[in-house]
Structure 1
């Protein structure tokens, strides 16, 4: 997971590695004021208390703010719980009712929350399967998905690609089997353990993950370390991260299509949705505008240019005409 800018989140949020052990509190206020644009005050949402959550990495925090500004413009009384550390903690916060609404990714839920080992290759079928099973098992409603697809990948510098000739994960597998010292692969703790991460990838491509050298780094450090090529020959990346282009990294082709589709969807518990069905109509055009190009640009502004994610999210919403700045 991307970890840049974690230190700017409130201490009450940072401590939420284990939700039940820390307690998330009531949340904070929305960081910036916005007014209606194409999103207008909506009967049924005006004055309704809504707590918005997100995970702690850049992209999720941006999307959390986007959701907050959307609901604020619709008239809701929004509380901010963006920046919860870890997928599991964020999910537990939703299931327990500490978070009312959040963006989640289809592939993440299919593999890590619902316990499946293999993703569904078609992104629409993946969404429909997650929507049906999560509703049945956990009373979790998934609204219409967005077009962006933020999935895991391995990347390398152009110099490493030229030196090794590795451009696909099958070629990477051959390198690991033949010369593991030439395939040092920097990963974070989650990717090294998750079945939609390194262990599952190794099984799909037919190599022993213990044979690979996998130094553990924070995701925010992996990109630069991979570009430098000293500590990492290859590195775990997310396909919508703006640092891939900024650092001229080459993403290896997933030629066996192992990595799941990660399309975003607004998720909320069934009882909250039943009480406030207007949320589906209000959020649908915003989610539909979340393309790879849009989120890559926003991620780049935060992770490369150093802009505040709350400002980046607000400016994108204003540019799209969804809200107005105040």
Structure 2
């Protein structure tokens, strides 16, 4: 499944989860930029009056991140237009290519595989970032800033109680389990991908004959089915807010099978050359964005029904980036 498809699925699932939660404010995450005062993110006189348009996708994580980017740029002095809630990966990408937007939170794997058309990911977070940045700058005039530790990729998760019972923390632990415990919930397209379920099993020394029951489900149902015990191991995305909400634990991909989708900002290179101070701003933000942080923030929206813009602002304040 292409990452753009993943984004649309995640958008749909997040929207359904949000509709079920009281007080959900997804639509309010587009257009408004919440005010804050400088702290670790400084005010730059050089950014006064500089028009910057932020584009971000229309699923929970991107609604939060798009608002973070908009808030810190506004705090730094820029005149920000917040186009968070843009439909789909390619809607955001096209807005960058045609100049309707000039900055976006994005994932290195999405850039390399989906936008630049490479079939095989680059191994290593730094190597993947440098590869996508170099090619996109040369071909499209877009610069990818140094990424955050956060990596929103595929993974398998297990119920916390089952994980303790089976004593598994890594995917390499699966081979030691008896067949009856090797039960999986996966979505249909992942089960057929050339970088999906079967190749993952091979990487970890397993075949389908070694497994117990494999249940194919819609993406959103995998999480609840895993939590209820329909299977021991469910296919998930590593920063999905339902993971902590449902008491799931992500297994370490210790042989680094899955592609890397580290978060960063993509910026029009012309804007960055004119205002290199933008690198300083995101050098304050990006190192703080980890999987643990994003899981908690996503859960505030998907599980607790909070507004993503307010979640973004509250976290920025708590981290001392703004006040």
Common fold, TM-score beyond 0.5? yes
Matches within 5 A, 1:202-221: 213-218=215-220, 221=221
Kindly indicate whether residue 7 of structure 2 is the aligned counterpart of residue 4 of structure 1.
no
Report the CA distance between 1:122 and its aligned residue.
1.9
Matches within 5 A, 1:164-183: 169=171, 183=183
1:294/1:10 CA distance change after superposition, 3 Å: closer
Asked whether the 8 Å contact 1:117–1:196 carries over to 2, the reply is no
After superposition, the CA RMSD in angstroms is: 3.5
Q: Which residue of 2 aligns with 1:52?
A: 54
Q: Deviations over 1:154-185 (max 9, x none)?
A: 2233576689998765687999xx89xx7452
Q: Deviations over 1:179-217 (max 9, x none)?
A: 9xx74524386x568766558647866868xx9653223
SS at match of 2:84: strand
SS at match of 2:234: strand
Kindly indicate whether residue 257 of structure 2 is the aligned counterpart of residue 258 of structure 1.
yes
Asked whether the 8 Å contact 1:246–1:304 carries over to 2, the reply is yes
SS at match of 1:36: coil
Q: Which residue of 2 aligns with 1:297?
A: 296
SS at match of 1:262: coil
1:213/1:137 CA distance change after superposition, 3 Å: farther
Asked whether the 8 Å contact 1:100–1:269 carries over to 2, the reply is yes
Normalization by structure 2: what TM-score? 0.77
Report the CA distance between 1:99 and its aligned residue.
2.3
Matches within 5 A, 1:115-154: 115-154=117-156
Normalization by structure 1: what TM-score? 0.76
Report the CA distance between 1:318 and its aligned residue.
0.9
Matches within 5 A, 1:263-278: 263-278=262-277
SS at match of 1:118: coil
Q: Which residue of 2 aligns with 1:155?
A: 157
Match of 1:29 among 24, 27, 32: 32
- The more displaced of 287-296 and 141-150 is 287-296
Asked whether the 8 Å contact 2:55–2:82 carries over to 1, the reply is yes
Q: Deviations over 1:267-305 (max 9, x none)?
A: 022233233332222222111222333223222322333
Asked whether the 8 Å contact 2:185–2:225 carries over to 1, the reply is no
Gaps in structure 1 of 5+ consecutive residues: 14-26
SS at match of 1:44: helix
Report the CA distance between 1:225 and its aligned residue.
2.8
Asked whether the 8 Å contact 2:26–2:63 carries over to 1, the reply is no
Give the Cα–Cα distance (whole angstroms) in 2 for the partners of residues 199 and 82 of structure 1. Answer: 36
Q: Deviations over 1:5-59 (max 9, x none)?
A: 4664449x9xxxxxxxxxxxxx7222x2222223233133212222212122222
Kindly indicate whether residue 320 of structure 2 is the aligned counterpart of residue 321 of structure 1.
yes
Q: Which residue of 2 aligns with 1:19?
A: none
Give the Cα–Cα distance (whole angstroms) in 1 for the partners of residues 264 and 239 of structure 2. Answer: 16
Report the CA distance between 1:265 and its aligned residue.
1.3
Gaps in structure 2 of 5+ consecutive residues: 1-6, 20-24
Report the CA distance between 1:69 and its aligned residue.
0.7
